[in-house]
Amino acid sequence: GVHAAALRGYLAELRDALALARALRRTLVLPRWTCYVDKLWAGSDNIIGMGFMYPGSQDAPFLPFACPMDHVLSPAAWAKAEVDYRDAAILD
């Protein structure tokens, strides 16, 4: 779906941005991404039936929304890899 296609593009964008930041020895500013599904931190039996939103959030539709880093990437893995980065929010 839309989210999977967007994610593929985001990862390609991130690969290029990371390569450029490393080549220039600069801090990577993460790109702004849009989420088309909510990330569930706990299991749900019917996420598709809930419109890809966390159960209980259907009364206030919010999709799509600006993705926080941890919806797409693992902050722990980035810390372990010692990648110097900043969230796009620093540009606000």
3-state secondary structure of 66: strand
- The pLDDT tens digits for 42-77 are 555 565 555 556 666 666 666 688 888 887 788 888
Cα angle at 4 between 79 and 44, to 5 degrees? Answer: 80
Block residue for tokens 């999709």: 63
Main-chain phi, psi angles of 13, to 5 degrees: -60, -45
3-state secondary structure of 46: coil
Cα angle at 76 between 19 and 4, to 5 degrees? Answer: 65
Q: Which residue did the predictor score with more confidence, 48 or 15?
A: 15
As a whole number, mean pLDDT of residues 34-48 equals 64
pLDDT the model gives residue 20: 93
Beta bridge partners of 86: 29
Q: Which residue did the predictor score with more confidence, 2 or 26?
A: 26
Task: Kindly tell me if the per-residue pLDDT of 19 is higher than 60.
Answer: yes
